[in-house]
Structure 1
Amino acid sequence: MSTFTRSRRSVWADARFLIGIVVVVLSVAGVWAVVASAGTTAPVLQATRTITLGEPLVSGDFRVVEVGLGSITDLYLSPQDLRPGQVALRTVFDGELLPVSAAEDADANRTTTIVIESSTGIPADVAAGSIVELWHSPPVDDGDGQGPPRILVADAIVSSVTTSEGMLAADGTTAEVVIDRADVADVLAAITGGSVLSVVPIGATS
């Protein structure tokens, strides 16, 4: 009876020993996998300037950097993923890695750019990528002056800002802004109809 008991204990001890070895091997393999993945890098695109919504994505606006992103590498575009005809689906800021979600085909793009001569000054911190409102003051019916200002486009994106220089320069500033195509008709009607337009940073008062 005692011999049988010792045999059972011996078998159980051997099983626990084998299980312990398996656990140790799996732990070592897991640590090795984490270390190996941490040291693995992949080439992705990094913007060398701020690219605004709707702008074409071209290789000249990016540098290739090697980064270790692990399991999220597929969320960013590599050099071979950049195709002709792609545009920015949102603003990509200078130094930002280009995510897959920020690129789309030009055929699907619903925005366009338009040049606005702002009748008011634009703060120096408003630059490419800034979100602004477009306000306009339409002419009154009798043609004597302008009516109260009101919002024309609530969420335009600045593509570039040009300030006139010289003694003969106009007081206003010219801004190229990105707007939804659905707003183009209203903006053009305001311009041709004699409205005074202003580019107002979000959060500022008119």
Structure 2
Amino acid sequence: MTAATANRTRPRAFWSDARFVLGILLVVASIAGVWFVVTAARQTVPVFAAARTIVAGTALSGDDLRVVEVALGQMGDAYLAPESLEEGLVATRTIPSGELVPQSAVGDASAATVTTVVLRSAVDVPGSVEPGSVVEVWSAPLIERGRYDTPRILVADATVVSVTRDDSMIGGGSAALEVVIPRADVAATLAAMSDESALSVVPSAGAGR
């Protein structure tokens, strides 16, 4: 037998066949991986979005929320889902209208550190003050009828829930506001209202940052 004949009849090495099979397996795995990623990206889950601006301390209800279908992948558990809505949940921070509601932005009402009060500003508030605005509440203690002491900050960090302006007042407008304030400021705020102090609401210096 010649050397040429021996070369033609020699069986193919096993490692060569194994490498071919391995290459096929890698191609199949690559295709399966791409299919999995594309399929996962197309899957959506129902979560809540804010139907309006929700300020801190607001008890969450169906009127505040709307269900949207979004593709969140592995982050789906980070947002409030319809089955997670329970009585007693409140917003722990302001959630702008249209924003998906994070689980971290809601909590139990019993643990809330803020509450809402309704107060009347002695003067009208700027047009920029609207639900969700961060404001300061100033108080000028009453000395005698028609005379007030120097104004001072009563609440340094309040969030507006609603504002009703009244331009019919003689000598200038006034406004009634529902605001969220820290529970630590409730006693002083109620005392100022009962003492007939003149209250004023102004935008917070850092509100535009």
Q: TM-score range by the shorter chain?
A: 0.7 to 0.9
User: Is 1:48 matched up with 2:59?
Assistant: no
Task: Report matched runs for 1:58-73 at 5 Å.
Answer: 58-73=61-76
SS state at 1:112 partner? strand
> Counterpart in 2 of 1:152?
154
Give 1:185's aligned amino acid: A
| 1:91 positional shift | 1.5
User: Is 1:185 matched up with 2:176?
Assistant: no
| 1:168 positional shift | 5.8
Distance 2:170 2:200 in 1: 20
Give 1:95's aligned amino acid: G
User: 1:59/1:20 Cα in 2 relative to 1: closer, same or farther (>3 Å)?
Assistant: same
> Paired residues, what number?
199
Determine if contact 2:166/2:173 at 8 Å carries over to the other structure.
yes
Q: 1:114 aligns with which of 89, 113, 117?
A: 117
> Counterpart in 1 of 2:105?
102
Q: 1:20 aligns with which of 13, 20, 23?
A: 23
| 1:33 positional shift | 1.0
| 1:118 positional shift | 1.3
Identity among equivalent positions (%) equals 49
> Counterpart in 2 of 1:92?
95
Determine if contact 1:59/1:82 at 8 Å carries over to the other structure.
no
User: Is 1:166 matched up with 2:165?
Assistant: no
SS state at 2:120 partner? strand
| 1:179 positional shift | 0.6
> Counterpart in 1 of 2:3?
none
Give 2:164's aligned amino acid: T
SS state at 2:13 partner? helix
> Which protein is bigger by CA-based radius of gyration?
2
Segment of structure 1 superposing worse, 14-23 or 64-73: 14-23
Please list every run of 5 or more consecutive structure 1 residues that lacks an aligned counterpart in the other structure. Answer: none
| 1:10 positional shift | 2.5
Query: What is the RMSD computed on CA atoms of the aligned residues?
Result: 2.5
Distance 2:203 2:18 in 1: 72
Q: 1:30 aligns with which of 13, 28, 33?
A: 33
TM-score, structure 2 as length reference: 0.84
User: 1:49/1:57 Cα in 2 relative to 1: closer, same or farther (>3 Å)?
Assistant: same
Q: Deviations along 1:55-97, whole A, 9 cap, x unmatched?
A: 1111132222211111111111121111112111111222122
Distance 2:23 2:120 in 1: 76
| 1:167 positional shift | 5.7
The runs of at least 4 aligned residues of structure 1 exceeding 3 Å deviation read: 165-170
Q: Deviations along 1:21-57, whole A, 9 cap, x unmatched?
A: 2322221121111100111011111222112111111
